Chain A
Amino acid sequence: MNAQLRAQVCSLREEVRQFCRESMPAQLLEKSHRHQVLDKADYVQWMKLLHQRGWAAPHWPAAYGGADWTPLQRFVLEDELARQGCPWIIPFGVKYVGPVIYAFGNEEQKARFLPNILSTDEFWAQGYSEPNAGSDLAGLKTQAVRDGDHYIVNGQKVWTTYAQWADWLFCLVRTSHEGKPQAGISFLLIDMQSPGISVNEIKTMDGYRHVNEVWLENVRVPVSNLIGVEGGGWNYAKFLLKNERTAGAIVGQAKHVLERLKQFAYTPQNDQRPIERPALRHTLTNFELRFMALEAAAYDAVEAMMLGHEDGGEASIIKIRGTELYQEVSETLVEAMGMAGVAFDPQALHAATLPPLGPDDAGGIIKEHFYNRAATIFGGSSEVQRNILAKVVLGL
């Protein structure tokens, strides 16, 4: 990476650190450091803070309220925010449906939806996966049948993150059964207040509510909520995926948990620092090496994007290596904590209570460990990512 890019990267990182020190409310900062469960108000506050700073959607074109940021700037922002342990940037509005609307929506849709996406005055959820359409998303069956100037939607979505908070759902629906499955998919925007929608919690091992089932029974959706054309949904979804290639947060999260493990290793326990144990030192060294490789590969990927010569496998490399490294580091940390790594009261994650054993963030560490067990499954599983590398890059 050339000197000019490096300098740019350094100053942006420092800006992000300063932002964390000076602009985050103390309570939110504290909750983030301990990886406590955040509620809707916390996330909305966080997204609005970012928006005030111009960091909620800087990758959007300036014409739509963004700042035309380069892949490098995006990468560094997300990477550094994650390194600092900041809350998740809720992606459904600013990263997923927003760009689809400004790229493929009509002027009414842009005017209606984009401002509230930027400000997080409306909260979005993603209606993609179904019980029988996970990795095989094109196999989705939720139907939208035309009835005058409405679609009647019937079906079931699953793994819908924060559907319980959502005002709107962007939904992939089947409008045709002819031809290839992909060709019959449309992109619909659905008001979560519509009659016929019910949301049920899916209980997960991490102890807090994030994913849901969304049932749609004869839900009437105005035709004016169709993005683009019928049958264009799969292409819009692919465009959305292309928008997600930088994945700076994956690198930053791996760095964050690695730093936490090192902090643990250097903290004396019973008069000995864990780092003095050869096995742990060896393990940590391997993690450091793997992180170095991950970060270098990520910057190579970003550079390829900037120069326009990607081979299509870049995002898969970052996801595979970043999530797998995260999980192993996290597992090492939880294991090294001994009993403190298995004491877990989900109720305490919502309150500001101290854990019964170990460091203040022990509960949050375990929660993050459990939550991120799914990191190699959601967003395109590691298996799917390897398929992409094999097919798209290697031509196998």
Chain B
Amino acid sequence: MTTDLETISMLRDSFERYCADHYDFLARSQRLNAATRYSDSTWQALAEFGFLSACLPESLDGLDADAYALGALSEVTGKHMLLEPFLACAVIAPSVLRWLADAALQAELLPLIASGSLKLLLTQDHLQTDCLISDGHLSGRQLGVLHGDIADQFLVPARNSQGQSVLCLVSPEHPNLGKHTYRLVDGRGAANLSFDAVPASLVCSDASRVLEALQQVRDIASAALCAEEQAIAQALLNTTNEYLKVRQQFGKALATNQALQHRMADLYLLSKEIQALTQCARLACSQTPVDRRTLSGARAYCIQAARRIASEAIQLHGGLGITEELQVSHYVRRLMVNASQYGSREEHFEHFAQLSLPEQGAAYV
């Protein structure tokens, strides 16, 4: 179902208003020193505003949000570098339940997600795993799980005793569930999880449906992360542009140097390409079948382009660019973590290559 443009605008505006009031850079900076940078009061506020229901069906007062709506919300989470697990827990996990879980489980968990009392987390978006589920107990490890430090419950891709891929729901807070939590470069948290015969139930035991669902996870995440990159690129461009106009050395503004003007023009070009490709990614997500060539291509290009803008933004700010006090280096680190999620740039590049340049290039001979 396509969310209409008016609803998308309203959603984005109210999310932006909330973040402008409660999540400005100074407020966020103060939270970075805390032991856990996640804030439950923020999560509850998001629930009250209805943002956690975005991906729920209308029957549960959700918006049944599509890639366009999620993209709009992701622009806000990117611009404000939200520390809370919006994409992972308000978008990906409920979407996976809607695709794979039976009606009873959906009825049980989706309202809890919407109210903010359950942060459900999918531990990985692919099937390479040493996790095994046998007789209702899960064993194995999941390393480097973003938000694994603050999630309430986990959805874990695993193999059953016949070696087939399945999706499990692991019971929360079990003594045999080991969590080694740690901090990431951008202030978000992660965990290494170990399951030692932890009770778990099967959400879906159909390997092909699980595989397809995980690919769809990567699809939405790609569109969402491109949107974060679009917002970050824009913010970096704006702040760097202003800095060059204001900063004086040798008796004149840095902006008067033609060499720097040309570099800014190059960054502007990149930001327009990111913007255009982000739109393409949203459209690609909404097609049937999903256009994965465009999605992987957009992802690969946007990661690289945003990184280039971020690096130039630091350089053009001089020494100030590497300080904690300015937003620039924080955006750089947000981009680093985003690029480690839902497929690396190299993976998306290779995927795009496979879909663009097939082995048998019959059309070119």
B307-342: which residues lie under 8 A (CB-CB) from chain A?
307, 311, 314-315, 318-319, 321-325, 329, 332-333, 336-337, 339-340
Contacts of B339 in A (CB 8 A): 335
| Residue of B184, B346, B350 touching A344 (CB-CB under 8 A) | B184
CB pair B190–A343 under 8 Å, yes or no, is: yes
Known: A205-B324, A345-B182. A373 touches B314 (CB 8 A): yes
Q: How far is the CB of A342 from chain B (nearest CB, A)?
A: 5
- Closest A residue, CB atoms, query B184: A342
Contacts of B190 in A (CB 8 A): 339, 343, 356
Give the docked Cα–Cα distance between A377 and B319 (Å): 6
CB pair A345–B183 under 8 Å, yes or no, is: yes
Contacts of A104 in B (CB 8 A): none
B354 on interface, CB distance cutoff 8 Å: no
Q: How far is the CB of B321 from chain A (nearest CB, A)?
A: 7
Give the docked Cα–Cα distance between A331 and B345 (Å): 13
CB pair A203–B325 under 8 Å, yes or no, is: yes
B344 on interface, CB distance cutoff 8 Å: yes
A20 on interface, CB distance cutoff 8 Å: no
Give the docked Cα–Cα distance between A251 and B190 (Å): 36
| Residue of A136, A203, A339 touching B323 (CB-CB under 8 A) | A203
CB pair B323–A205 under 8 Å, yes or no, is: yes
Q: Give the number of residue pairs across the A-B interface with Cβ within 8 Å.
A: 106
**B-contact 0/1 string along A126-164, CB 8 Å cutoff:** 000100111110010000000000000000001100000
Contacts of B152 in A (CB 8 A): none
Contacts of B333 in A (CB 8 A): 205, 342
Contacts of A135 in B (CB 8 A): 249-250, 318
CB pair B318–A377 under 8 Å, yes or no, is: yes
**A-contact 0/1 string along B228-258, CB 8 Å cutoff:** 0000000000000000000011110000000
**B-contact 0/1 string along A337-356, CB 8 Å cutoff:** 01111111100000000001
CB pair A279–B315 under 8 Å, yes or no, is: no
Give the docked Cα–Cα distance between A206 and B329 (Å): 10
Give the docked Cα–Cα distance between A87 and B321 (Å): 25
Contacts of A280 in B (CB 8 A): 346
CB pair A357–B315 under 8 Å, yes or no, is: no
Contacts of A370 in B (CB 8 A): 185, 322
Give the docked Cα–Cα distance between A338 and B128 (Å): 15
Contacts of A202 in B (CB 8 A): 323, 325
Give the docked Cα–Cα distance between A277 and B337 (Å): 22
B174 on interface, CB distance cutoff 8 Å: no
CB pair A356–B319 under 8 Å, yes or no, is: no
B11-55: which residues lie under 8 A (CB-CB) from chain A?
none
**B-contact 0/1 string along A6-22, CB 8 Å cutoff:** 00000000000000000
B268 on interface, CB distance cutoff 8 Å: no
A179-223: which residues lie under 8 A (CB-CB) from chain B?
202-206, 211
**B-contact 0/1 string along A350-376, CB 8 Å cutoff:** 000000110000000010001001101
Known: A135-B249, A136-B250. A205 touches B329 (CB 8 A): yes
Q: How far is the CB of A349 from chain B (nearest CB, A)?
A: 12
| Residue of B128, B192, B248, B307 touching A132 (CB-CB under 8 A) | B248
Contacts of A159 in B (CB 8 A): 319
CB pair A279–B346 under 8 Å, yes or no, is: yes
B142-187: which residues lie under 8 A (CB-CB) from chain A?
143-144, 146, 180, 182-186
Give the docked Cα–Cα distance between A265 and B97 (Å): 38
Give the docked Cα–Cα distance between A268 and B338 (Å): 24
Contacts of A344 in B (CB 8 A): 183-185
Give the docked Cα–Cα distance between A136 and B251 (Å): 9
Give the docked Cα–Cα distance between A159 and B319 (Å): 8
Contacts of A136 in B (CB 8 A): 249-251
B259 on interface, CB distance cutoff 8 Å: yes
CB pair B183–A383 under 8 Å, yes or no, is: no
CB pair A339–B144 under 8 Å, yes or no, is: yes
Q: How far is the CB of B34 from chain A (nearest CB, A)?
A: 13
A381 on interface, CB distance cutoff 8 Å: yes
CB pair B319–A134 under 8 Å, yes or no, is: yes
Give the docked Cα–Cα distance between A211 and B325 (Å): 13
CB pair A134–B249 under 8 Å, yes or no, is: yes
Give the docked Cα–Cα distance between A376 and B311 (Å): 11
Q: How far is the CB of B29 from chain A (nearest CB, A)?
A: 10
Contacts of B86 in A (CB 8 A): none
Give the docked Cα–Cα distance between A373 and B329 (Å): 10
Contact surface of A with B, Cβ cutoff 8 Å: 129, 132-136, 139, 158-159, 202-206, 211, 270, 277, 279-280, 327, 331, 334-335, 338-345, 356-357, 366, 370, 373-374, 376-378, 381-383
What are 10 A-B residue pairs whose CB atoms fall within 8 Å in the complex?
A139-B249, A204-B322, A205-B322, A338-B144, A340-B144, A344-B184, A356-B192, A366-B185, A377-B314, A382-B315
Contact surface of B with A, Cβ cutoff 8 Å: 128, 143-144, 146, 180, 182-186, 190, 192, 248-251, 259-260, 307, 311, 314-315, 318-319, 321-325, 329, 332-333, 336-337, 339-340, 344-346, 349-350
**Given A159-B319, A342-B336, 10 other A-B residues pairs in contact with their CB atoms under 8 A:** A139-B250, A202-B323, A204-B323, A270-B128, A327-B311, A335-B345, A342-B184, A343-B183, A344-B185, A373-B322
Cβ-closest 10 pairs across A and B? A339-B144, A136-B249, A203-B324, A205-B329, A344-B185, A356-B182, A136-B250, A345-B183, A342-B337, A342-B185
